[in-house]
Amino acid sequence: MRKSALSLMTLGTILAACSSHDPILPGERSAIFGATELNILNTEIPNAPINAPVAENAECPFVRDTSNVIWNGDRRVFSGFATPNFVKTDARPVCRGGYVYAGLTTGEVVKVAAKSRQIAWIADIYRPSNMTGGASVLDIVAPVVLTGGSVYAGGLGDAFCKINDATGKKTWCVDIGVGLPFIVTDAVSYVVATDGHLYAIKTQNGDIYWRTPVKAQSAPQLRDKIITVGRQQFDAATGVVQTSGK
């Protein structure tokens, strides 16, 4: 389901008036990233990962409802903007170090102190053109990934971003839409984008080692240096098709 253009235009007006501190959603807010051309290196990944790491996530009892409210049982921890339409998702908030992290239907990731309910930061995960142009879908439906000192998030507003966990500032963003779980390793992130490609993204700076078309919109799996997407298999270092999935 899709949000109305009117609702998004109204939200865009509110957000445009906000600087680093949002008067409606208190806490530090990182600016919307500038759109850039994809930097595709078309090169093999040195020391490509063998298997997908186990995602960092402490026991997390929180849930986010369709009105962008985060709950701990019957206790309201955070209230965001309610949207009349939304994309259904099974993604739940994740927890670390006394904080809860959640993606919202309005295209943001929020970090909230679980006990005090204070907002640490809010990061916008969408391209500027998707807000000013009245884009109808900004939802973050893929699970947020925490690893090291970084937070990785992708949204349907054509953005996949690495965020500094301490500050909420974006280290980099890539202009691709993301609606599926993705893999993050020390060197590379494997992401199936809404444009029908599997991307191997350098986690250091957001450069793209390679991209290759996929036949199915399916979350990537990594095992023994092979990326599986649906029935297709790809070399994790080069992106070369190993099994076509016919």
Taking the CA atoms of 141, 58, 175 and 47 in sequence, report the sign of the dihedral they define.
negative
Note the pTM of the prediction, 2 decimals: 0.86
Residue that is written with structure tokens 């009245």 in the block? 134
Contacts of 176 (CB under 8 A, 6+ apart): 38, 154, 158, 159, 160, 191, 193, 194, 195, 197, 199
Residue 74 has pLDDT above 70, yes or no: yes
Percent of the chain beyond pLDDT 90? 69
pLDDT in tens, 170-222: 999 999 999 999 999 999 999 999 999 999 999 999 999 999 999 999 999 99
Separation between Cα atoms, residue 138 and residue 235, nearest integer Å:
32
Separation between Cα atoms, residue 115 and residue 109, nearest integer Å:
19
Burial label for 238, CB within 10 Å (0-12, 13-18, 19+), is: middle
Taking only Cα atoms into account, the Rg of the chain, rounded to an integer number of angstroms, comes to: 18
Q: What is the pLDDT of residue 31?
A: 64
Confidence of residue 234 (pLDDT cuts 50, 70, 90): very high
Q: For 244, phi and psi rounded to 5 degrees?
A: -75, -25
- Mean pLDDT across 123-148: 81
- Residue type at 212 in one-letter notation: T
Cβ burial 53-84 (10 Å sphere, 16+ → b, else e): eeeebeebebebeeebbbebeeeebbebbebe
Separation between Cα atoms, residue 24 and residue 215, nearest integer Å:
42
Confidence of residue 90 (pLDDT cuts 50, 70, 90): confident
Q: What is residue 10's three-state secondary structure?
A: helix
Confidence of residue 21 (pLDDT cuts 50, 70, 90): very low
Q: What is the pLDDT of residue 23?
A: 36
Residue 148 has pLDDT above 60, yes or no: yes
Confidence of residue 83 (pLDDT cuts 50, 70, 90): confident
Residue that is written with structure tokens 């839409």 in the block? 177
Q: What is the pLDDT of residue 19?
A: 33
